[in-house]
Structure 1
């Protein structure tokens, strides 16, 4: 499985060559993506004794915390994770070591910044400033919004 990176025919062939029966790929997603539909489906379907195989750990998730969440889900289902490069697995003693390292990294890792959209000011504020003789650039500066926001509100008010 190759997640959150460019899907590569080379990686798919590599996974099939090492014995993967089902190979799934997914388009890249942003760090604030709430969840991968392909990964969610796999984690819902995977069973006891199964192994989720990824070519590289960063193809699984954008953050260490998310990787740990995936490991928890796999453990709940009785499955394990195998990473091709570098070769690591969550089964056995090495799995406990991998989890400990990931937990240590997650403890110091900064969460991805959430993109917040600023609420646009009400149209009446923009119109009041325009009537007071201020231009769109000055209105945008005073209200802390983009000029495009001001232009859109003014155009909507005209309609």
Structure 2
């Protein structure tokens, strides 16, 4: 049900989405999210970014996040693919796909997964700017988004 992968190669978005529904007539909804690298962060131009992680630990954290989504909603599939290594603006950083019999479950689970990935997945981002490299700090807005999914939060169906 869960497909989790961390890779340095570009993400083939169509190839990641198709297995969520192809040949699976029980699937009534597929919701996907693609996070892209921007060329501007906090008002500063960014020319490139490098994503670092701890192999093994990162995949376990992603699997735990996917398992939590599966426990909250009635899902038929979850795919998370996250890039590491050097990236340029407009490249996909992350793909999240969720399959369910119904759209509400798929939308809520996909949003939950993204909010938790932003705050609980062990990735470190270093941006290249005209002033030199800088490490990206966690945003308070990301933590607030994840906090709304606390135990018993609105939107859970199980």
- TM (norm. structure 1) is 0.25
Determine which structure has greater relative contact order: mean sequence separation of CA pairs < 8 Å that are 6+ residues apart, divided by chain length: 2
Q: Which has the larger radius of gyration?
A: 1
- TM (norm. structure 2) is 0.26
